[in-house]
Each structure stands twice: as structure tokens, then as C-alpha cells.
Structure 1
Amino acid sequence: HAEWIQTDLVRNSRLRYSQQWTLIADSNNHKNIRTVLPPGPCSPLSGELLSELSPTRGLRAVVRETGSQQLLEIWDRHGLRKSLNLSALNIHGRVYDDIRLPVLVRKHTLISSLLYGDVFVSTQDRSVYCEDWGEALTSKSVPVLCVVDLHHGEIDVLQSVPQDVSPGQALWAPCSQAVFFVGWYHEPFRLGLKFCSNRRSALFRLSLDGHCECISGDNLSVSCPRLSPDGSTLIYLQGSVFGPHNQCLSLDLKSGKTSTMLDVVSRPQTGDFAGVYEALPSHCWSADGEKVVFSSAVRNWKDVFMVDRGTKKVSSLSDNLSDLSKVYGSWKLLTVQRDLMVVCCSSPNSPPTLRVGFLPSADETVTWRTLQQPVTTFDYLWTVLDVTPTSDEDNLRYPGLDFGAILVKPSHLLCETGTPVVVFIHGGPHSQFPVEWNSTTAGLVELGFAVLMVNYRGSTGFGQDSILSLIGQVGSQDVKDVQRAVMAALQNDKTLDPKRLAVIGGSHGGFLSCHLIGQYPDFYRACAARNPVINAATLLGTSDIVDWRYTSAGFQFSYDNIPTAETLAAMLLKSPITHAAQIKAPVLLMLGGKDRRVSPHQGLELYKVLKSRGSPVRLLWFPEDGHSLSRVDTQVDCFLNTVLWLTQHL
């Protein structure tokens, strides 16, 4: 059962729909897929917020939204078995729809479902300021865990959760009648959670009789608890608190005592496993509980890996690192069911497709089967560049690091003078542009542009040293890396037009875009920036991740920090606003009015400076959107205006 999301421009919304697949295995070898039956028509999932199958596969729980009400439905093979109006029961607030829904069948006829809701706030406290968890989690403040007893139609809020934590990522422990969950600490005040794996948190075990205990270490950041099939062993990701907001994590195992299965990778050798950088899928164990499967960044690629519990040996399960002529550049694990892996594969010229394969035995390779080819693939050329900084650009604390970039371009030269180039810079900064399908890149290439996506030092997939090297070096090291990548691409590919260059990016990518047009004013002819950081000093008091504002500038963060002249001056000097007087390229700014990560007043600050100097600038304001500018109408507006801006000025 696969669920997909598709943008519908007519309704100005995203539609969810499902596909059903039937795989027939060989009767003599159940790990050999003999036949893949074609799926039937796709079915829309109207109003579904969350859904999950029970472990027995006989039941499906759905949280559905109809108007202002939320319903919990239980479906079996005969139809709708139970329906509860959660809003009318009035026991908890709205169910959070940004997590999966754990479901358990226990005691034969007693069916329980684990929900996440928000507590009600007393009307007499309506004017008291209530902290929440920041960007994209506005109004989510004090979540609770609820158990629904479908036999009696009762909902109970699980008690004994510590008052100083917000619970989430909960899962059932069927054998011990308990719930494991991650708790994020509130005190002394909340910091934004979205995209931040460095928040102080702990792993808790809550028995249904009300006993709650912390089972992880202190002053750590934990996430993604996953129980083995027999319920005896728990794995989870662990990292440090503060520092880089996203970083290489360790994979820890708890079975009686805690041990580390995979440690942080400081500096991987070429072709080696580079560490864990992303969340574990909800089902990632082998059937025998001896192996764990996950996907993670490796330089400019994304690969699927398997780690053996006993030997701690890590193996790549795709051909990503050995065959550079492969069809798919990115492999993302979705789930493992009875040793059958389901992965999503794509490349810059090939939209996502599903592939399946069984976990291999010792010394075997996976035989992958494609369930369905994409509706279309595109005749684009793409290549991966490995870029080495010059000696004067090397980082003295972390010397010898390199980085990468991905060049995607039309297969045929459309203009005698060469192809105009759009330099596309990811945000974060600790994230990655993998060799995967990117609709913005594909749209630009389809319209005749070459796109260079840069993974500067500090991007994920290159080891923890690379991530740490950017601390205190923003606005200089990352700017030079992007420029070095552009020069390398122009030198390696003479079909690119060096006189028609533009730069685009969002958040930290917008920060770098504005830096580049200020530091290299005669090099770029246009810029389009989404919610860019313009002045780190003025951003300090308005961002939901104030810790990163200190860390990125090279200062230690603590909750009781008070800005000093030294810190504010350092932040200002690292900001694009200091180079604004040198900007010559026309600038398109796209700002979300509800952005809590990077205040829209950052972009307005640059807009006013450029306007006062008569520099060409255009500002698009989206009052109902946040940092990601993710509403369908916003995305359409941003893409079309970016294309028109680039076409006009290139």
C-alpha cells in the first residue's frame, strides 16, 4: 500500500492518493519475487490526516478531518467497524497530523489506538503568553498522549508524563503493555524544533498503570525510537545539544544496557559510509531482529544501508557508490516489511518511482524490482562535481575537506552563445542537495537553463568535520565554496555561458545568494531569494532558533545569553547587508508574512536599502505563509515569478 501526494493547481491544494500492489513470490524461495501484478486505478484519500495498519494487518486506523471535526475510524475487511467523533468527545485538543499513528491490537478484542493531541487551555488564562515549538509548529505547545479503547469507546489521556517535557514520536511496546516516547524539555524556554535535531530531549518508558521512567542519558538529543519485531530491543538516534542544528547522529541500541551500533563519522573516506543524517523509517528492522536498514546522505548521493547488530558492519544495498552510470542517484528507504524493502528512487531527470527487494543474506546482493516506471523521464544531462578549495580557502581547524555540486542541463545547446546558468543554493545550512528529482531544477532546465546545485562545506553527507568547519565561518567559507564550484563548472563545461549567471536560494541559501551578488557584483546578473537572512544582528531577537544565531557566528550559546557589542558586531560583519552597497544585480525577494525562523523584516531591510539606491528590486509578500513558502499557490507564484525574473535579466 503506497500513499502519494500530488499538487492540484485547479483546486490549489495537495491531493493524497493510494496505490495497491500485489507481489507474488516464488513458492520455493519466498525471497524471490516472481511476479508484480499491475496496480489498479489510484484512489483519492479524501480528508485523511493519518492512517496506520495494525500489526495483524486486519485493521486500519484513520484520523479524518471533516470540516471542523476530527474523526477516528477503524476499518476492517468488511467496512467501517468503528467511528469516534474526537472533537465531540471533547477530551483533548486537535490531533497532531505531523506524526504517524501507532495502532495496537491486544487482549484479543480490546483494540487501542495511540493519538497525539494538545491540552485545552483554560479560558481564564487566554491572555497569558503560551510558548510553542516555533516555525511550522505554531500553537503546538503542550501535547498529550491519548489511548482510545474502541471496545468501550473511551479515550484516556495518559498520565504521569513529566510536566517539563512535550511527548512525541510515541510507539507501543506490546509485550510489556507500555509506551515509549521522546520528551522534549520545555525549560527554561522552548526553541524551534523544525529541522533541528539538537534539542535537549530524552527517551521515556510509560507503563499503562502510570509509571514513567527516563531510559536515556542526560543532556542529549534523541529521536526515532524503533522497537525490534520481538519487542526486546530498542534503537534510536542520538546527538549533542546545541551546536549545529542538524548533524551526524549516532545509532544507539538498548537491550538491557545501552550500546552504540553506529558512531558519529568525523571524516569518511571516499566511497565509505558517511554517517546517519536523517530520520529512521517507522519500520526498519529485519524480521529476525539482527539487522537495521536506513537511508542516509553520502556526499552528493543518498543511499540505502544495512547494519548488522552483531558485527556492526555497514553495507550499501544499492549500486550508488560503485556505478556512476546508474539510472537512479537517490535511494530513500520507505519501509521494511517481513524483509521486503520498499524504496523510492529518483534522479534529476527521473521523477520518483518505487522499487522493492528482499534483504540479502551474507555475501549476497539485492535483486531490485521496479514496481512502476515514472510516467515520463526527461532528456537532461546531469553530472556530479567534486570540488577542492584552494590552499588559501582551506579551513585551518579542519584542513583537507572537499565538497561537491550537481550540474543539470538541457541535452541540446539551445543558444549559440551557450547555456545560461542558475546557481541553486540549499538552505540549512546543514542539509543537502542529493542527486534526486527536484521539480524546481527540472522546471528551469526544461525552460533552457543549466542549474548548478552546490553542496558547500557544512552540507550533510560529508562527515561531522565538514559540518563543524562552517561554525563561525558563515558568510565567508560557504560563499567562497559556492563561487569555487561555479568556477569549476564553467572550466569543465564550455557550453555554459559565463556572462549569463544568476543565483537563487532560500533561507541560508538566500543568505548566500545575497552575499554572492554583493561580494562578486560584476559576476552575477540576477538573484532570486526566498526568506533570506540579511542581517544576523537584527535577526537575533526575532528567530525561533536563537541558539543557531550565536553558534553560526562562532559563539557559545546558553539560555541566559545577553547580546554584547562584540557578538552583534560579529553577526553584522557576517551578513549580506554589509555588502548591499556593492549590489548591481536585480534582486527578487519572496517573503512569508508568518515566517518565524527568518523574520520577513530581514528581506524588507534589504529591499529598503536597494530601493533607496535605485537598484532594481521586486518584493513578493505572502501574508499567510511561513518559512518554507509551501502553500500551493505560493509555490506556483514563486516559481513563475522567478522564471520571469531570470528570463528578463539573463
Structure 2
Amino acid sequence: MLNNNLTWKTSPCSHSEWSQSDLVRGSRILYSQQWTLITDSNDHKSIRTVLPPGPCVPVSGEVLSGLSGHQLLEIWDRHGLRKCLNLTALNKHGRVYDDAQFGCLSWSECENKLLYVAEKIKNTSIEKHDGESPCRKPQQDRSVYCEDWGESLTNKSVPVICVVNLQSGSISVLQGVPHDVSPGQALWAPSSQSVFLVGWYHEPFRLGLRFCSNQRLSGDNLSVSCPRLSPDGSTLFYLQGRVFGPHNQCLSLQQVHYLYLLVVFRLLCSGFPSSLIFFVFVVASSAGFYDLPDYGSWKLLTVQKDLMVVCCSSPNTPPTLRVGFLPSAGETVTWQTLQQPVMTFDFHWTVLDVTTPPEEDNTHYSGLDFGAVLVKPSRPPIEAKTPLVVFIHGGPHSQFPAEWNCTTAGLAKLGFAVLMVNYRGSTGFGQDSILSLIGQIGSQDVKDVQTAVRTALQRDIALDPNRLAVIGGSHGGFLSCHLVGQYPEFYRACAARNPVINAATLLGTSDIVDCVGIQYSYDQIPTAEALAAMLEKSPITHAAQIKAPVLLMLGGRDRRVSPHQGLELYKALKSRASPVRLLWFPEDGHSLSRVDTQADCFLNTVLWLHQHL
């Protein structure tokens, strides 16, 4: 699901855009659907019927598109193409940002101006201003190294805020942003005379922001994101957390009354709003979710005029849209399904609560439990027990919700049980759980996964303890390789995608700061003691004990975890004649997200599991 919005005419209409992988094209395609909801004439908070949506309509999914090396800005309305501007020919900026970190697209109230973020155009003049980054140097210095913002933000270095005037066709670029700040996530303030934005410091150098957005902004110890305005435009909301530390952590919701904000500098170009408020601020909505039907995951997509749109799924049920009105006090929500999924699966799934053994309790964060989601195939073997695949998420501060997961569903369909483990440090269990893992990776998280596996085997005798495999990517690959090294007699196969193998060598090669519990500072030079501690926490120290066959899948353009990490384990295993296979994807990054790569990795993983289980 990409996005959903509601419109109101005589009846509410829900418009949604969906994403689907097309293995023939080797790409993702987008399509849209629209539903018209008929409310009761006597009770406008009661949905009487939902009209059939009609056929799915393919969409480009782009407002800004590329054609023959040119960037075109196209504005469409119900009468057709309203405006088309050749942004390349206007030569006011470089490539437009379409990422979730910096990118934005915001209409002014009068809908005559459009706000967005693009790369600053390269400075080709001889003039050079103090404090400018290498990307702004004269053309004769074009070979000077140009920093960008890391994994999935390659070639995005110096973002600028831009506004297009649709009446005149002119484009203005915001001047006066401090030279050491990269702006993004911008939107219009009320009356469209000011702009709110987030600014990330990129001095002394840039660090990868993807999944690690808790970096330094206007406050030395605060990181903020996701600016939103209240519906009446009077209040700013934003999410706030601490700088550095866990990459993903519990955030506080902050609000500031718009009238009390200060304008800190003025715009220096004509045709742009007269002033800029340099601040940040997330929409907070609380809905009365009572008596929820039996879905594992509910995600609130949007709320308009008390009508909520949610996306529901479970490990055996692909995503579906549902709508319902916010209830009055003492009432419950009546949910209406817009469209059932094409198919559901009769997998059995359950959530396991796992208790930490006393000897493995964290003395600083005592009494923390965690969980796992067990998914079993619908038709297990009649006589033999079911092989179990232990699936470990990355992050490490991420999670496996009880929602639809294509990899899990595919493995279950092929006869494997899948245990998705949310070890201590996973999100969704509170800030103490997240903080408990700092300095304890390679130990606490490894033991948690092993405890979860033993718990599942004890509670379900249909699982085969002699046919166990472990899979995961990034930190999940780190834990997978740890498990087959620390418990060499326990697992019979391993498949790891872009795993962290040696934290000591990762320190100087990743686009992010290390999270093994050593306090980070920009000017810190690693000591011998720090490097020794990182090495001790790494799977490479257990390579000599690994007996299970290991499948490695590496992205040649991975900037989060260098592919040399996986190569280090590959060479260690090859030198000992241990069974190992390496798949190399030269054009892919850390997430291995290309459609053809995803298909290749899944098929090879399944074949590896069948061969060795």
C-alpha cells in the first residue's frame, strides 16, 4: 500500500494506490482503485453500502518524471493536463528528490504554487564562498570527492527548497539556508506565506540517514522529524528523540502553537514567500479501536471527517482496506470491508510470549520479556515433523508484526514452519527493551533467539528439532551467522543477506555510526580496546566452529554493510572447506530490493533449505 486519501462530494470516496512486483518486467508496478461509500441518509456516520470499485487502473505514480534525460513537472486535473514544465530546461536546480527522507510535494492554499526539494545545481563559476561543501566548488574541481547522504540516498548531497509558480511558470530556490544544513520534509505554513522544514547538519560530514534519522538537527542532543500541521493550522506537531544511540527508538510527540514561533531569517529571492520559519514538527490521531476483528495488524492510513481508513492483514491474509467512523463515547466502531483480498491461506499462526531465563536477565533492564510469531503450513507432513526456519529481522531496532510477509508466506506454502523472532531490542516493547541491547549485541540478542527457538520446540511437538535453519538480513544476518557459530550442532542450514560479520572492520566502511555500545563522536579515533570489543561481538570469531552450510547474498553497492563483510566470512569458510555459496548482485544495495534480486534470493534460499534440511 502506497497511500490512501478521502474526498467528499455527496458521498465519501476512497482512493488508494497499490504496489505490486511484476516478475516478467522485473519491476514494480502501481495501480489505483477508488470506492464510493453511500452513507445512511438519516445517519451520516453509518455506511449503508459500498459501490463496486471497477477495474484497477495502472498509474505512473509520479508527479515528477524523467523523459530523454529531461525532468518534467506535470500537473493534471479532471480536465486533463493543466501544466507541463521542463525543469531541466529551466536549469534552476538538479534532480528532484523523491525519497521519503528529504522529499516532499506541498500545495499552497491557493493551489498556484508547489513546494518541493531538489539537488542544488552545481556551481560552475570561479567564485567560491567560505564554508561551501565540495559539491559547490568550481567546475575545475569537479573531481573533488562529493559526500552524499548514504545508502538509498546516493547522489543526494546538497538539497534545496524550491517553489514553482504555476501561473507564471517560474521556479524560485530558497536562499539563506545555513551552509551547514540540508533541508527537507518541507511544507507550507497557514496562509502559504511561510515554510516549515527539517534541517540536518552535514558538518563535519554527512552520515547515512536511511533508517538512521536520529542525527543532529537544531539541538545538540535532539533529533526531530515528520512535521505536520493540525487541521485548523494553529498547531505544529513533530516527533522528537535523542541524537545517535539506537537507530530506531521510542519518540515523543511534541506540539507548538504556530503563533509563538519565531521567524529566524528571511528569504532572499523574489517570487518566494516573504519569510521562512526554520522549525520542524507529526500528525497525531487517536482513534477508538474497540472490538477489533481477528487481524494481526491494523494500520491507520488516514482520517477525514471522522471516517477512518485502515489497512488490515495477518500472516495468512494479504492486506485489505477497511473503513469505519470514529465512535462516540461508549460506542464501538462498525467496520466495513472495501474489498477482500484475492485469496487467503489456511496457515496456522500464533504469537509466542517468551520469558527470559534468570541467568540471561539484563541487570540494568531487568524483567524484560519478548515475543515471536510462529507460522505453520496448512498441510504439514502426515508422518514426519515439520522443518522450522528461524527468521530474524534486521535493524536491530525493528520488528516482525503479525502481518502479511511474502517471504514467510512463501516458505509456509512450501512446507516450512517459520518462527519470526522479536528479540529484546526490537521495537514495540518499550524504550527499556531498545536500550537493553546497546552494548549487548552478539550476546543478548543471540541468546534471545535461541531461547525463542527452544520455547517453540517445547510448545509445539510437531516441529522437527533435527531440521532447523536460520535466515536473516543485515543484523538478522549477523545473528544468523552467530547462531550457526555458537550452536554448531543445532542448525543445519543458514542463509544470510548482507550480514554484519566483523564489527571492527565495519566501523570505517559503513555510512552510519556503529551501534555496539561504544559512545560515538565525530572526532573519535577507535582505540585498540574498542576494536577488540567489536571483534569479540562479531560472528567472524566463531567462523571456525561453523558446520552448517551457509548461503551468502551480497549487494555490490551496499553502503550500509560493505559486501566485504560477507566476503570475509566466505573466505574464512572456504579456507576450512566448509560448505558455502555466495550470490553477488553488483547493482543492488543493502536492502537487495530490486524485483529480480528478490526473486533470485528467495528461490536460492528455498533450494538451499530443501537441499540441506
TM over 0.5: yes
Whichever residue aligns with residue 67 of structure 2, its letter is T
Give unpaired runs (5+ residues) of structure 2: 1-14, 124-138, 262-280
Which of 8, 27, 34 is residue 13 of structure 1 equivalent to? 27
The aligned residue for residue 104 of structure 1 is 107
The aligned residue for residue 116 of structure 1 is 117
- Please report how far the alpha carbon of residue 160 of structure 1 lies from its aligned counterpart in structure 2 after TM superposition: 2.2
- Please report how far the alpha carbon of residue 336 of structure 1 lies from its aligned counterpart in structure 2 after TM superposition: 1.9
* Alignment deviations for residues 203-230 of structure 1 (CA, whole Å, 9 cap, x no partner): xxxxxxxxxxxxxx55310001110111
- Does residue 173 of the first structure (1) align with residue 189 of the second (2)? yes
Whichever residue aligns with residue 6 of structure 1, its letter is Q
* Alignment deviations for residues 561-606 of structure 1 (CA, whole Å, 9 cap, x no partner): 1011100000000000000000000000000000000000000000
The aligned residue for residue 626 of structure 1 is 589
The aligned residue for residue 263 of structure 1 is none
- Does residue 141 of the first structure (1) align with residue 143 of the second (2)? no
Which of 329, 337, 344 is residue 377 of structure 1 equivalent to? 344
The aligned residue for residue 126 of structure 1 is 142
The aligned residue for residue 528 of structure 2 is 565
Indicate the larger mover: 627-636 or 126-135. Answer: 126-135
Which of 230, 236, 251 is residue 238 of structure 2 equivalent to? 236
Q: 1:597 to 1:494 in 2, by over 3 A?
A: same
The aligned residue for residue 327 of structure 2 is 360
- Does residue 189 of the first structure (1) align with residue 187 of the second (2)? no
Q: Is the 8 A contact 1:197 1:239 kept in 2?
A: no
For residues 149-548 of structure 1, the aligned pairs below 5 Å read 149-175=165-191, 177-202=193-218, 217-255=219-257, 292-293=284-285, 306=286, 317=289, 319=291, 326-546=293-513
User: How many residues were matched structurally?
Assistant: 564
Q: 1:601 to 1:398 in 2, by over 3 A?
A: same
d(CA) in 2 for partners of 1:124, 1:319: 66
- Please report how far the alpha carbon of residue 27 of structure 1 lies from its aligned counterpart in structure 2 after TM superposition: 2.5
* Alignment deviations for residues 322-352 of structure 1 (CA, whole Å, 9 cap, x no partner): xxxx431111122222322211111000001
d(CA) in 1 for partners of 2:88, 2:206: 28
Which of 40, 51, 63 is residue 26 of structure 1 equivalent to? 40
Which of 35, 43, 57 is residue 49 of structure 2 equivalent to? 35
Whichever residue aligns with residue 344 of structure 1, its letter is C
TM-score of the two chains, using structure 1 as the length reference: 0.84
d(CA) in 1 for partners of 2:222, 2:181: 14
Q: 1:65 to 1:358 in 2, by over 3 A?
A: farther
* Alignment deviations for residues 152-195 of structure 1 (CA, whole Å, 9 cap, x no partner): 01111122222211111111113251110111111111111000
Q: Is the 8 A contact 1:197 1:247 kept in 2?
A: no
Cα-Cα RMSD: 1.8
Q: 1:318 to 1:191 in 2, by over 3 A?
A: farther
Whichever residue aligns with residue 628 of structure 1, its letter is S
- Please report how far the alpha carbon of residue 316 of structure 1 lies from its aligned counterpart in structure 2 after TM superposition: 5.4
- Please report how far the alpha carbon of residue 150 of structure 1 lies from its aligned counterpart in structure 2 after TM superposition: 0.5
SS at match of 2:65: strand
For residues 5-84 of structure 1, the aligned pairs below 5 Å read 5-46=19-60, 48-49=61-62, 62-84=63-85
d(CA) in 2 for partners of 1:608, 1:125: 39
SS at match of 1:21: strand
* Alignment deviations for residues 261-284 of structure 1 (CA, whole Å, 9 cap, x no partner): xxxxxxxxxxxxxxxxxxxxxx98
- Please report how far the alpha carbon of residue 387 of structure 1 lies from its aligned counterpart in structure 2 after TM superposition: 0.3
SS at match of 1:606: helix
- Please report how far the alpha carbon of residue 525 of structure 1 lies from its aligned counterpart in structure 2 after TM superposition: 0.2
* Alignment deviations for residues 424-471 of structure 1 (CA, whole Å, 9 cap, x no partner): 000000000000000000000000000000000000000000000001
- Does residue 574 of the first structure (1) align with residue 588 of the second (2)? no
- Please report how far the alpha carbon of residue 415 of structure 1 lies from its aligned counterpart in structure 2 after TM superposition: 4.8
SS at match of 2:456: helix
Q: Is the 8 A contact 2:39 2:49 kept in 1?
A: yes
d(CA) in 2 for partners of 1:562, 1:318: 53
Q: Is the 8 A contact 1:284 1:336 kept in 2?
A: no
- Please report how far the alpha carbon of residue 197 of structure 1 lies from its aligned counterpart in structure 2 after TM superposition: 3.2
Q: Is the 8 A contact 1:284 1:335 kept in 2?
A: no
Q: Is the 8 A contact 2:109 2:192 kept in 1?
A: no
- Please report how far the alpha carbon of residue 135 of structure 1 lies from its aligned counterpart in structure 2 after TM superposition: 0.7
Q: Is the 8 A contact 2:288 2:333 kept in 1?
A: no
SS at match of 1:604: helix
Whichever residue aligns with residue 157 of structure 1, its letter is V
Q: Is the 8 A contact 2:385 2:463 kept in 1?
A: yes
SS at match of 1:636: helix
SS at match of 2:146: coil
Q: 1:168 to 1:382 in 2, by over 3 A?
A: same
Give unpaired runs (5+ residues) of structure 1: 50-61, 203-216, 260-282, 286-291, 294-305, 307-314, 321-325
d(CA) in 1 for partners of 2:51, 2:141: 58
Q: Is the 8 A contact 1:175 1:231 kept in 2?
A: no
- Does residue 603 of the first structure (1) align with residue 566 of the second (2)? yes
d(CA) in 1 for partners of 2:55, 2:258: 48
- Please report how far the alpha carbon of residue 511 of structure 1 lies from its aligned counterpart in structure 2 after TM superposition: 0.2
Q: 1:415 to 1:67 in 2, by over 3 A?
A: farther
d(CA) in 1 for partners of 2:207, 2:372: 32
Whichever residue aligns with residue 17 of structure 1, its letter is Y
Whichever residue aligns with residue 229 of structure 1, its letter is P
Indicate the larger mover: 94-103 or 192-201. Answer: 94-103
Whichever residue aligns with residue 201 of structure 1, its letter is L
Which of 625, 632, 635 is residue 598 of structure 2 equivalent to? 635
SS at match of 1:201: coil
The aligned residue for residue 264 of structure 2 is none
d(CA) in 1 for partners of 2:528, 2:115: 50
Whichever residue aligns with residue 333 of structure 1, its letter is L
d(CA) in 1 for partners of 2:474, 2:332: 41
SS at match of 1:489: helix
SS at match of 2:20: strand
d(CA) in 2 for partners of 1:125, 1:362: 66
d(CA) in 2 for partners of 1:71, 1:566: 54
Q: Is the 8 A contact 2:288 2:326 kept in 1?
A: no
d(CA) in 1 for partners of 2:282, 2:555: 36
Whichever residue aligns with residue 253 of structure 1, its letter is Q
Q: 1:105 to 1:77 in 2, by over 3 A?
A: farther
* Alignment deviations for residues 86-114 of structure 1 (CA, whole Å, 9 cap, x no partner): 1222111111112464332445xx60011
Q: 1:239 to 1:432 in 2, by over 3 A?
A: same
* Alignment deviations for residues 368-424 of structure 1 (CA, whole Å, 9 cap, x no partner): 211000000001000000001111000010000000000001123225220000000
- Please report how far the alpha carbon of residue 3 of structure 1 lies from its aligned counterpart in structure 2 after TM superposition: 0.6
TM-score of the two chains, using structure 2 as the length reference: 0.89
The aligned residue for residue 86 of structure 2 is 85
Whichever residue aligns with residue 197 of structure 1, its letter is S
Q: Is the 8 A contact 1:133 1:140 kept in 2?
A: yes
Q: 1:512 to 1:319 in 2, by over 3 A?
A: farther
